[in-house]
Structure 1
Amino acid sequence: MISARNYFRSYSILNFGMLICLFILNSCSYKNISSDNIKSNQDVEMIVFLVMKMHKNESTGNNSIILLSSQITEGKIKTTNKNEIYSENYLNFEFLKDKKRIEQFKTEHPLYRHIEFQTDTGLTSKSIVIDSIEFFERFQLSQLPDQIRISEKRKDKETLLLNKIPIQ
C-alpha cells in the first residue's frame, strides 16, 4: 500500500513537472506586435507574413494583386536574400511609413514561372504563365509599415504599379 506521505510526495513531483512543461510551452509561443510595442522600442525585429492573390485581367492584359491576410510578429528570419532575383519577371514590394520607403524587397513573379521537368530524353526547361494564384511571402522588417506598394517588372515592359495596400 502507498502511504499518504509517498502519495503527496509523488503528487508534488507531478505538479512540479507539469509546471515546468507549462513554462516551456509558454516560452515557445510567438508574440503579436502592436504599434504600442513598436513606438516604445524602435529596434524590434519583426517578420511580416502576407497571403495574396494575383490574377491576370484578360480584358486589359494587366495583372492585379490583392492582400488576403497579413500577420506581423516579433522575430528574425535566418537568411534574407531580399534582392537576389535571377528572373526577368519579378515583383517589387516597398514598405512605407509616413509615405517614406523603409524597406524594399524583390521576389520572383508568381504568374511567370520557369520550370524544369524530366522527359524521355532528359531534363527540359520551360517558361509557363499561370492565370491565377494564391501565394505567400514573408519579409524581415525593423520598423512597422503603414503601407505596402507592390509593382511588377516583366520582360521587355515598363515597371507597373499594381496596388497600394494599407497595413493596420
Structure 2
Amino acid sequence: MVKSKKNKKNKKKEMIGKVGNLVNDKKKDKESCNYTDEELSCKDITPEQCEHLRNRTFSNNPKKIFLEVRTIEERYKHSIEKEKDDIKNEIEEYKEKYGLKYKKALENKYKEINFYKTELTEEMTKNLEMLSSQEHMNLSEIDMIYKIKSKSLIQRGLEILGITF
C-alpha cells in the first residue's frame, strides 16, 4: 500500500510538471510569434482557400487524418500539374511566335547572301572577260608588230609596250 501511494504521488507530480511545461511552452510561443492568427491563416493563399480552411474541422481519427492528407496532396499535385501545363503552353506559344520570326530572319539572310553571290559572280565574269579581251588585244598587237618587216618599228612598238630585248 505504501508503494502504491508513493507511485500515485509521483505520477501526480509528473503530470503537474508536464502540464506546467505545456503552459510555459504556449506562453513562449505566443511571445515569439508577432503575427495574429488571422494573418498566419491567410498568408500566401487565396481568399477562397482561406475561407475553406476556416470552415474545415479537424479530427484526431488517424483514418480521417490520412484521408485529409491525401486530399491535400492530390490538390497540390493537381495545382502543380496545372501550372506545369500552363507554363508548357506559354513556352510553345513563344516558340511558335519567336521561331517564325527567327525562321523569317534566316530566310531573309539566305536571300541576301544569294543576291550578293550572284552579284559577285556577275562581276567576276565581267572582269574575266575584260582580262581575256585585254590579253587578246595585247597578243594581236604583238602579232601585228611582228608582221611589220621594219626592225625599227618593231623595236619602237616593243618599247611602247614596255618590252625590251
The structure having more radius of gyration, on CA atoms, is 2
Quick check: which one's strand share is greater? 1
Q: Which has the higher contact order (CA 8 A, sep 6+)?
A: 1
TM-score under structure 1 normalisation? 0.25
Q: TM-score, normalised by structure 2?
A: 0.25
